[in-house]
Amino acid sequence: MSPAETRIDLHTHSDASDGTDSPADLVRAAARVGLRVVGLTDHDTVRGWEEAAAVVPETGVALVRGAEISCRADGVSVHLLSYLHDPGNEALAAEMERSRDSRMGRAEKMVARLAEDYPITWESVRAQAAGEATIGRPHIADALVAAGVVDDRSTAFETIVSSKGPYYVRYDAPDAVEFVGRVRAAGGVPVMAHPRADARGRIVGDAVIEAMTEAGLFALEVDHRDHTPSAVAHLAALADRLGLARTGASDYHGEGKPNRLGERLTSPAVLAQIEEAGRLPLIRP
């Protein structure tokens, strides 16, 4: 397969955070849809890396190790993808642990609020998560599906657990601009995830992205299903103006969300730049 035909999806989630596939099954699923490279970017954790790496030889799919880190800027949630960083970097690992703890506390408060109006409990929400996964809104949504309140996870996010709704609880998160520098210090390559996904809630303005760029941002995730054509055009122009690379990805979570592996892709040239800039190599078959 020529480089132009190499299919690369750099933003996916396993059940180490809020996906439904195990890390190994996610890589196997990537092989079934013809991906040649997949990025595992679970929320605030690298716990799935080892399991995913173990099946690279059998699947023939190369693995980009990463994480999606919960940040904030101007009071707005920002998700930062970190690729190929050193997992042993103490400062980055500690910040990710703090984010996980904050997300868990937020989830407990949300469940308490929801339990006043809907038939869910903390135990029923925990039952939706695998192993030591940090409980988040996707698990709450799955508990609402299991209770027959909504039909699927996407519907729950659009209504009951929406960030615009009365049950939503904010969580503490590090400053996005500052965290770009921390990712770089850990040898990682920082990419801003779905910057204009305004259907999810408030988004930051271009000034924040400019500040993140000055701090070392590598790319914008331009091609994402939550971006309208006008948003894609705006982000492409912004990336060009700021000298940023562009990525595309599925943001796959498995069952319960419509995102499909390989529905959005990143070019081999951009992947080569990511590997050159990162501390870790790709894990290849």
- Neighbour tally for 284: CB within 10 Å: 12
Mean pLDDT, rounded, of the chain: 94
> pLDDT tens digit string along 92-113?
999 999 988 888 899 999 999 9
Q: Report helix, strand or coil for 167.
A: coil
- DSSP H helices in 43-89: 49-54, 56-59
Query: Letter for the amino acid at 40?
Result: L
CA 263, CA 94: separation in Å to the nearest integer? 33
Write out pLDDT tens, residues 216-266: 999 999 999 999 999 999 999 999 999 999 999 999 999 878 999 999 999
The pLDDT assigned to 134 comes to 80
Strand order across the beta sheet in which 8-12 lies: 8-12, 37-43, 62-73, 76-83, 189-192, 219-223, 245-248
Question: Rounded to the nearest 5°, which phi and psi values hold at 170?
Answer: -75, 160
The per-residue pLDDT for 4 is 52
Q: What is the dihedral of CA 193, 196, 199, 203, to 10 degrees?
A: 90
255: its two tokens:
């069952």
How far apart are alpha carbons 66 and 44 in whole angstroms? 10
Q: Which strand (E) or helix (H) includes residue 213?
A: helix 206-215
pLDDT at 2 over 60: no
Please say if the pLDDT value at position 1 is more than 90.
no
Q: For the segment 111-150, what is each residue's pLDDT rounded down to a tens digit?
A: 999 999 999 999 999 999 887 788 889 899 999 999 999 9
CA neighbours closer than 13 Å in the CB half-sphere of residue 248: 18
Q: pTM of the entire structure? A: 0.90
Mean pLDDT of 163-173: 89
SS3 content of the chain, % helix, strand, coil (to 5): 40, 15, 40
Which helix (H) or strand (E) is 40 found in, with range? strand 37-43
10 pLDDT tier (thresholds 50, 70, 90) = very high
Q: Band of the pLDDT at 163, cuts 50, 70, 90?
A: confident
For residue 282, the 8-state DSSP code is P
Residue 3: the pLDDT is 55
The amino acid sitting at 8 is: I
Task: Flag the least confident range among 2-11, 21-30, 75-84, 192-201.
Answer: 2-11
Which is it for strands 62-73 and 8-12: parallel, antiparallel or unpaired?
unpaired
Higher pLDDT, 63 or 1: 63
